[in-house]
Structure 1
């Protein structure tokens, strides 16, 4: 059996959460000397979430737990809403290795889909501890798990909560994930384990994205029929043609009800380059928690414009910008760092 047969589906991110799951950044191979420099923004992220819902943090190891406790005390953030869990991790990208919670709205049950994880096509071994996180969370919460047995990352998909799932060909059809599966077979897994009715495909992701094109850097559902999609205005930028092509594909899509997508354009920030490396900075990598939208900013003149566009999409939520110029060095941002646990 799979979730769809059992009446379960992956809920839209804007629905009510019980908690947010994080895996604390500690791996110096990812962050090099940046770790202390990301703390101000990372702990602001924790603080903003903890004000409205529980925050569960996979601490990595005992030394990391001590660091977290000291940082929380230093910032006067000791909080019953912030819980630390002694689950070993390899890295910090909980969107991709964390538990995918599915819910049955009739029975009010919650279960976990335990996808396999290989660090974006085996790019960053080891990843054994990260691959075990869904199992550990399920055991702690005493939740039943589904094990599809294929590679899947949370940042590679977007759902609208009404039967549609959006993803990118550059990622899910990449042979470094599931080389024995064709597009039709991957669509079958997506529909059965996320509990959706249709799969919508865009082409590619932004330059600098080492995930091979995760959709959470390009196009996000903000309600059942509306997407925010990033666009590059500079024709000479490497992202210009990529994002233009994605936009043209979005314009041709039809939802299950036969309606076209309502498409709202979101600017790309100015290129963020560090040590001659183009980093995957995008305003689309925002995170929706209870009553808030937490948006990565880049100390850029387009920050206010992007925050305003996102705020217009969420009139009932507080939109908070969080400086992510140091965080993006790890090649991900706020959405990549987090995974929601829905309330049932």
Structure 2
């Protein structure tokens, strides 16, 4: 009988020389799925379009923006909203690929590059809306395959559930993730931790997986890494900490901090850890929202950071600017967007540029 490895990984991206680049590597484009689902922003859908379009405007200053839209009416609506904020429409492309929701980090394609940087491939992980929380999600689940077919790119289908917001990359062989999300039984109950690691290593072309514990309170994804700890270069992470010992995030973020201190990279070195504050709790309709400055997006010409009308906004922006000296850091008010339980990183997925 064939072993698990032989069955699953007989032709993996890693074996074929592909890997997932770090987010700060040069992009060809950023992919988005235009927001249209009222249930994701009850009573606030209309209010998110201005900050969302500001987000697109800044990305489009340094790369293409490719947006999945449901139909011509959605394209016309989106175009009008983008014109209103002065976005460069010559750098924005629309694709008629209907979606259920807007969270392209999780349902969008994982783009890989080969070792020479001369070829791309796409991984289409399974997607089940964070453990079947928000059906239907059938349209979202097929977006990566549609994009791969459109651009005639090699396509890998691991046939397990994995979300882009649950994994973080240093571009040098290391993946950072959380047990709270990836080992949750609502994702892949048939797989153990070791098997999930094998999938990550083989389909992202990596060498090691480092595990944190829990995500922040209010995160309906069961603990995505992109709300707590982010690589900013090969050996440095930004990680959020809570200063108020009475806050319900305090202990779990202290535990994550201690876990990061104990980690070692492939070269044996410890992580360089830069602390990032948390905003004061953001509450809407008695619900604590997963507001975090860690949910920033690294575009070619800017790092775009969610802000929350909070005293710590300015501090967070200064810290993030300090670790990205070659990019401008831009804060955009995410107070309405976070009502959808995600922010700019959750909404976007990068497509790397070919290097030759």
Match of 1:85 in 2: 95
Match of 2:264 in 1: 254
Where do residues 1-344 of structure 1 align in structure 2 (5 Å cutoff)?
1-77=11-87, 79-106=89-116, 108-344=118-354
The C-alpha deviation readout for 1:191-245, integer Å capped at 9, x for no partner, is 0000110000000100000000000000000000000000000000000011000
Report the 3-state secondary structure (helix = DSSP H, G, I; strand = E; otherwise coil) of the residue aligned with 2:142: helix
Report the 3-state secondary structure (helix = DSSP H, G, I; strand = E; otherwise coil) of the residue aligned with 1:80: helix
Structure 1 gaps of 5+ residues are none
CA distance in 1, matches of 2:81, 2:230: 32
The C-alpha deviation readout for 1:110-169, integer Å capped at 9, x for no partner, is 000010100000000000000010011111111010000000000000010111000000
8 Å contact kept, 2:57–2:82: no
Count matched residues: 344
8 Å contact kept, 2:306–2:331: yes
CA distance in 2, matches of 1:328, 1:218: 15
Report the 3-state secondary structure (helix = DSSP H, G, I; strand = E; otherwise coil) of the residue aligned with 1:18: strand
Residue 291 of structure 1 and its aligned partner are, at CA, apart by 2.3
Structure 2 gaps of 5+ residues are 1-10
CA distance in 2, matches of 1:191, 1:165: 8
Deviates more, 1:74-83 or 1:180-189: 74-83
Give runs of ≥4 in structure 1 deviating > 6 Å: none
CA distance in 2, matches of 1:77, 1:231: 35
TM-score (ref. length: structure 1): 0.99
8 Å contact kept, 1:97–1:154: yes
8 Å contact kept, 2:57–2:85: no
Report the 3-state secondary structure (helix = DSSP H, G, I; strand = E; otherwise coil) of the residue aligned with 1:108: coil
The C-alpha deviation readout for 1:32-80, integer Å capped at 9, x for no partner, is 2211111110000000001110000001234322211221233343511
CA distance in 2, matches of 1:16, 1:273: 36
Aligned-residue CA RMSD in angstroms?
0.9
8 Å contact kept, 1:60–1:90: no
CA distance in 2, matches of 1:255, 1:187: 16
8 Å contact kept, 1:23–1:60: no
Does the C-alpha gap of structure 1 residues 101 and 63 become closer, same or farther in structure 2, counting only changes over 3 Å?
same
Residue 343 of structure 1 and its aligned partner are, at CA, apart by 0.5
